[in-house]
A and B are shown apart, each in its own frame.
Chain A
């Protein structure tokens, strides 16, 4: 038999075997022999399908995880924004309560920057001459005194802060009613001057403005006594005062002028 005939024979046998098998199955459903034959393959098939499903679930879980992470970041940012709004709301409510508690004229301002002059410690506020701001008006928050207006421009003003060495105000101790002058010392603490050595000054006592300087209204909280030193043989005690209001945290405040 020639090669071509052998090939043809193989091809015919191949096709015939396949067609016979197909014809045998045609019209029958789920014969017993086939079920037994396919049992291990069905098991393998189930295993592969399960593997596929598991991989699909992993992919879905990974995608969900990625999405949830981005959601968490977004929500954290939103939460921070909301917290900021809440804080602003609280500060504004405090300012409003200040207006209700004082007889003096109040002008609400926002702090818009630090002072440009490096020789003095000052801040810039968003109200100026056009808004009725005048030199020497006191800048206060519900916590206490912040500083005083030193320069007024059209729509903004400079405020000299408490802790600047060139700042001074007439004050008194809230309980003992001792009077003195408070000045900035360049640092965080203020200096209370002109308190005689024999006067008792308890640490922690509150200091308020006395109004005797003709600039600041009476009774504005300034700070508390932090340290007292009677040594050194001087004429007065060396007293340091911790201000109630940290000027680094002032965002909204009110200008107060004597009526």
Chain B
């Protein structure tokens, strides 16, 4: 899996997310993408050196930051909110898959997706609470969080990312 593959996957995730969010349901595929990258990064560095060190986290955080920046620029929101959430997602997923979870199972996949979707929203809400002035609609927001978490959990259960590598 080379960088071009991840770039294409990122582009595809953005297109699907944008189209589906406009006409169907609000997806959050970028979280899934960053978590998968974090896991692939952790496995790559562990396989190469026997231990991951912090390179896996560094790479995954960088990838998350890039995806977050891209997302912020596309959405027209404050640049930084997506970077923070996706950067943390990449960093934490790489850390978890380096030291805690060594095998991807449907249950762990679903749990990870729910946790990282929640983290993504938590960062977004925190940033908006401090830096934005537009009002928040709790009902609609909770509905969106739950829906995205459930959808991502289903994706996490269905995925078999055993062969995904970062290079």
Binding site for B on A (CB under 8 A): 3, 6-7, 10-11, 14-15, 17-23, 25-26, 34, 37-38, 41-42, 44-45, 48-49, 51-53, 55-56, 59
What are 14 A-to-B residue pairs whose CB atoms are below 8 Å? Answer: A3-B54, A10-B57, A10-B91, A14-B61, A14-B84, A14-B91, A15-B88, A17-B65, A18-B81, A22-B131, A23-B131, A25-B78, A26-B131, A52-B18
Q: How far is the CB of B50 from chain A (nearest CB, A)?
A: 14
Dominant secondary structure of chain A at its interface with chain B: helix
Q: Do B84 and A19 have beta carbons less than 8 Å apart?
A: yes
Q: Do A34 and B79 have beta carbons less than 8 Å apart?
A: yes
Q: Do A7 and B95 have beta carbons less than 8 Å apart?
A: yes
Residue of chain B at shortest CB distance from A3: B54
Residue of chain B at shortest CB distance from A45: B74
- Knowing A7-B95, A10-B61, A18-B87, say if A25 contacts B22 (CB, 8 Å): no
Q: How many residues of B contact A (CB 8 A)?
A: 30
Q: Do B127 and A22 have beta carbons less than 8 Å apart?
A: yes
Tell me the B46-91 residues at the A interface (CB within 8 Å).
53-54, 57-58, 61, 65, 68, 70, 73-76, 78-81, 83-84, 87-88, 91
Q: How far is the CB of A164 from chain B (nearest CB, A)?
A: 70
Which of A14, A26, A51, A59 is B19 in contact with, Cβ under 8 Å? A51
Q: Do A19 and B87 have beta carbons less than 8 Å apart?
A: no
Tell me the B99-156 residues at the A interface (CB within 8 Å).
127, 130-131
Tell me the B20-44 residues at the A interface (CB within 8 Å).
22-23
Q: Do B74 and A41 have beta carbons less than 8 Å apart?
A: yes
Residue of chain A at shortest CB distance from B88: A14
